[in-house]
Copies of this chain bind each other. A is one copy, B any other.
Amino acid sequence: MKPAFSLPTDTSFGNSNSMAISVLIVDDHYMVVEGIHSLLQNEEQIEWVGHANNAASCLALLQSRVPDVLLMDISLPDASGIDLCKQVKQLYPAVFVLALTTFSQLNYVDQMMAAGASGYLLKNVSARELTEALQKVVSGKIVFSDEVAKAMHVQAANRGVVITRREKEVLALIANGQTNQEIATMLYVSVSTVETHRKNLLQKLQAKNTAALVKLAMDQKLI
């Protein structure tokens, strides 16, 4: 089985205190940007490159200046952090992406790491934690804030359910109250097909029936 992410082999960056770590932040919450900015303001090893509040302006900014670390919110107005992370890592492999998130978005940890992120921090991180995380990240390490690590463990049982594109479509329609017949009509397939998808969904999510299916799916942000 493939790991959801892999450690970078490049560990050539030493922990040189002479070279400041340049940081760019992407987040659409003005307060978060301000908060991080003020957290890092007094850190001499950190160089504040700037901020973008969406994926597009982030990519634009990167064209003129590539920072060591990109602090990235996973929910952005014009793209998912996951997609942006993939794109950035493809265009600028040297950038370390550090995901910034809230407690409610822990379900995306795997996808974010698979997209090439170097770690995952909760937004209520302290100045010390953040600085340490930045230093670890630029030396090639993977970092998770304690709460993330803990939450990942707790959620381990229910995570990693993979449903297909079609199943997701069917799932959404089920949750919307459509019957198999209606879904079949909407998707231009037979009722049998919809029944099969439903059967597979129940099996994949280990749900006893539709009600449980919808609840579990929503818990796991599949809807």
* Residues of A near any B CB (own CB < 8 A): 2, 28-39, 102, 104, 123-126, 174-179, 207-215, 218, 223
Contact A177 B211 (CB under 8 A): yes
Q: Mind listing 12 A-B residue pairs with CB under 8 Å?
A: A2-B126, A29-B123, A30-B35, A30-B39, A30-B125, A35-B35, A38-B38, A174-B211, A175-B215, A177-B209, A177-B211, A178-B208
Interface of A: prevailing SS? helix
A126 to B124, CA, bound (A): 20
The 5 A-B pairs at the shortest CB distance, nearest first, are namely A31-B35, A177-B212, A177-B208, A34-B35, A35-B35
Q: Which residues of B contact A176 (CB under 8 A)?
A: 211-212, 215
A28 to B123, CA, bound (A): 10
Q: Which residues of B contact A34 (CB under 8 A)?
A: 34-35, 38-39
Specify the chain B residue showing the minimal Cβ separation from A172. Answer: B215
Q: Which residues of B contact A177 (CB under 8 A)?
A: 207-209, 211-212, 215
A37 to B36, CA, bound (A): 12
Specify the chain B residue showing the minimal Cβ separation from A215. Answer: B175
Chain B min CB distance to A194 (Å): 13
A211 to B172, CA, bound (A): 10
Contact B124 A214 (CB under 8 A): no
Q: Which residues of B contact A39 (CB under 8 A)?
A: 30-31, 34
Say which residue of B125, B174, B179 sits within 8 Å of A31 (CB atoms): B125
Q: Which residues of B contact A211 (CB under 8 A)?
A: 174-177, 210-211, 213-214
Contact B209 A179 (CB under 8 A): yes
Chain B min CB distance to A220 (Å): 12
Chain B min CB distance to A204 (Å): 15
Chain B min CB distance to A213 (Å): 8
Q: Which residues of B contact A123 (CB under 8 A)?
A: 29, 31-32
Q: Which residues of B contact A175 (CB under 8 A)?
A: 211-212, 214-215
A179 to B207, CA, bound (A): 12
A210 to B179, CA, bound (A): 11
A36 to B207, CA, bound (A): 43
